Chains A and B, each alone.
Chain A
Amino acid sequence: MTDPNTLSPDLETLDLETHDKTFLDANELVINMGPQHPATHGVLRVILRLDGEKVMGLECVIGYLHRGVEKIAENRTYTMFNPYVDRMDYVAAVSNGLGYCEAVEKLLNVEAPPRAQYVRVILTELNRMASHQLWLGTHALDIGAITPLFYTFRDREEILKIFEKYCGARLTTHAFRIGGLQYETYEGFEKEVKTFVSFVRPKIDEYEELLTTNRIWLERTKGVGKISGKDAIALGVTGPVLRASGVKWDIRKALPYANYKNFDFDIPTGENGDTYDRYLVRMAEFRQSLRIIEQAVDNIPEGPIMAKVPKVIKPPVGEIYHSIEAPKGELGFFIVSDGSTQPYRIRVRPPSFVNLQALDVMCRGQLVADVIAVIGTLDIVLGEVDR
């Protein structure tokens, strides 16, 4: 048995056999993919057992980016911990901030004012698009199409410019405060967001033109990394990966938070649960995000941007679980308060971490090239997996 304190288990101690007893020793090749590898999206290490190019089993080794965010939370006040959550899923920092702020607000039993709610939705949806753009670019790059990466980054830049104008940061935005917003929106915010919406709509068609009907793209993604809705639910998979398997589960609709119930949008779902369906679901989500942003921008009410929140945040004793639909899936915050200024315990349920467990199920019996495609389609961010 591996010592639980050992950070990186060695190849000898890995217990791959218990998963699958049909290994043919003579033919198998153990390959260590990562943590330094161009296609593992950061510092993921995947130990592959191959028969030729066929994947017989794989084991993910994570923890190379572990910073102990949850432990840090126990030694920070609620306000001080707010910027740390941005560093978990750093490509969707705004979503993380929303999840954390709403969880603490729920604990405090306050609600952000309507104006703040609308701006929050706009920024979060913009961030969802930025995250999906990064996913699309890198996923296509993994499959060998290098050009979409530059197209998506060009358009993602416009989103980051809006963030930068709003709060001065592009990536780790720290856009929200507990109880509302960090800043009042800048002059011309609505106009700029509207311009962006009309700018990016044809660009999404442009991405689709490059890939959706591309013969090689279809061959590389159809039927690859299949996961059934049942399996996906059993493994706790959420987000676009779950929806592509035909399960209509979106927390924005199922357990509405912020003011998502005021908006009219659809939940795109797939049928086959393969890589191509996940691609289509995310492409459809681009358009749904645009719909939400359009509705929100037109209806931003006037009013305060902060609710009445005490200077020193001291929630009552209790515990709370609040989850939101982050771009990658269900992002949950479980906060235990002992009545002091610091949380007693914070547990984060990161979508990437939970989705990553499906990798083995999705890859078994496929080829090495498919592992890359599946890692790309899971859309993991190692900062969030390891925390």
Chain B
Amino acid sequence: MIHTLIQYIQSYLDSDKTPGGAGNIFWAIVYIMLVFVGLSVAVIAMNWLERKILAHMQVRLGPMRVGPHGLLQPIADAIKLLLKEDIIPAEADAAVFWIAPFIVVLAAFTVFVVVPFGPTHAITDMNIGILFMLGVSSLSVLGIVTAGWASNSHYPLIGALRSSAQMVSYEVAMGLAVISAIMMTSLNDQSTGTLSMIGIVQAQLAQGEWFIFKFFPLGLIGFGIFAIAMVAETNRAPFDLPEAESELTAGFHTEYSGFRWSLFFLAEYSAMIAVSSIAVTLWLGGWLRPFPNLLSGPTWDLLFSLFPGVSFLLLAVMCFYNTARMPKHPLFRVQTIGLAGFGVVLGLIGLILFIPAVRIRVTDIFWFATKVAAFMYLYIWYRGTFPRYRFDQLMKVGWKVLLPTGLALLILTALVGMRAELWAELQGAWRP
């Protein structure tokens, strides 16, 4: 009995499929847990990073008190939010008010079912993966609208209206950009395109270039449209109108507090990660390391697989450097030890990542995460730089700039992709 079970668990390790694809429930659950925990950690890390990076852009220090360099600040915040009173306004529609944040969180987390962290590192691989992602992630607007409506208050209502209009109009442009990338996947001998997230990355590997460089500058334009639309889609600066702080106090979540508010926060950040992973998958080669075709061979593979360990070790070194720079004062003793401890933990993780068995399995995840992290940094950078668009200008950008560009891009991609066939057809028409 137990033997069968172990065999069932072990059998997956030899397969080259995703847990969902192999139909292995045990590993699927493990993967779901890992994604859930990893996502939560990523959101917590993002919280800290956003505050620190933004602070350093704005000539200030950011959180410095809770833990060394404020490392424990997000945890302190999380505890504070959980302990806060959960207020439901008397005039609000309690049931809808209660359920709205869960819709948003569900939508934001469910999309990760198909996100490919590696050729086998996805919970499952759907043949309609990208459609599933776009579809489910756009459900979150439902939660935002219900949140704004159920609050029964003016500011949330306006925020929710803005949000629904914004998300609906940017999804169109987003979809057009996505289609142009999907069309690129069909440029192979069999002319078979794919909507599967894993398939899209494998197509980039097979064609030997990331789709951002495909048909230059068409791929780049598509990526640009998506990169703009995804910021609007996640309601982040400079498109953060639904929660425009200076106009609508906090937009659709004005009336929310405590745990329920933190759910919106969680959803916002995981949605950011989700759309970034779509962009990474479609245009930046997903889990592929730089130059997988050009610099191939065992030596290069080995070299690139050392990257995760090295980067963690570098982080550890940074921690130790900052430990040495800590003020030599009894008051800072705990913080100094804490920072050194954090460095040790990072260093250990780095060393573990050097173990060959781990190394092979983790490299893909590392490259994927690095690319997503670059997008996260962009998000923070935007927020530090740009003023906020006005509502009508936002609509103008969406409908009058991104949408026509997207349509033109779609046609151009099709024409360029089919140029050989077109040429043959034309010649045939010319000389019958």
A, B from the same assembly: yes
CB distance from A59 to the nearest CB of B (A): 16
Q: At the interface, yes or no: A146 with Cβ under 8 Å from chain B?
A: yes
In B140-159, the 8 Å CB interface with A consists of 154-155, 158
- Contact at B390–A147, with CB atoms within 8 Å? no
- Contact at A145–B386, with CB atoms within 8 Å? yes
- Contact at A144–B393, with CB atoms within 8 Å? no
Q: At the interface, yes or no: A297 with Cβ under 8 Å from chain B?
A: no
Contacts A367-B392, A369-B247 given; does A144 touch B59 at CB 8 Å: no
**B-facing mask of A127-161, CB < 8 A → 1, else 0?**
00000000000001111111101110010000000
- Contact at B384–A144, with CB atoms within 8 Å? no
B393 closest partner in A (C-beta): A219
Which of A8-16, A31-39, A105-113 forms contacts with chain B? A31-39
- Contact at B246–A372, with CB atoms within 8 Å? yes
Q: At the interface, yes or no: A204 with Cβ under 8 Å from chain B?
A: no
Contact for B390 among A29, A149, A210, A220, CB less than 8 A: A220
Contact for B249 among A37, A145, A151, A368, CB less than 8 A: A37
Query: Number of residues in B with C-beta < 8 Å to the partner?
Result: 30
Q: At the interface, yes or no: B240 with Cβ under 8 Å from chain A?
A: yes
Query: Number of residues in A with C-beta < 8 Å to the partner?
Result: 31
Q: Which residues of A contact B244 (CB under 8 A)?
A: 144, 369
- Contact at A38–B246, with CB atoms within 8 Å? yes
- Contact at A145–B387, with CB atoms within 8 Å? yes
Contacts A38-B246, A368-B247, A372-B247 given; does A144 touch B60 at CB 8 Å: no
CA distance in complex: A151, B58 (Å) = 7
Contact for A147 among B154, B155, B246, B385, CB less than 8 A: B385
- Contact at A39–B387, with CB atoms within 8 Å? no
In A172-220, the 8 Å CB interface with B consists of 210-211, 214, 216-217, 219-220
Contacts A37-B249, A369-B244, A372-B247 given; does A144 touch B154 at CB 8 Å: no
CA distance in complex: A149, B244 (Å) = 17
A144 closest partner in B (C-beta): B388
In A349-379, the 8 Å CB interface with B consists of 367-370, 372
Q: At the interface, yes or no: B68 with Cβ under 8 Å from chain A?
A: no
Q: At the interface, yes or no: A53 with Cβ under 8 Å from chain B?
A: yes
CB distance from A249 to the nearest CB of B (A): 30
Contacts A150-B59, A368-B158 given; does A216 touch B391 at CB 8 Å: no
CB distance from B154 to the nearest CB of A (A): 5
Q: Which residues of B contact A372 (CB under 8 A)?
A: 246-247
CA distance in complex: A163, B343 (Å) = 45
A-B contact pairs, 9 of them (CB 8 A): A31-B155, A32-B154, A144-B237, A149-B58, A216-B393, A220-B390, A368-B248, A369-B244, A372-B246
Q: Which residues of B contact A (CB under 8 A)?
A: 54, 57-60, 154-155, 158, 162, 237-238, 240-241, 244-249, 383-393
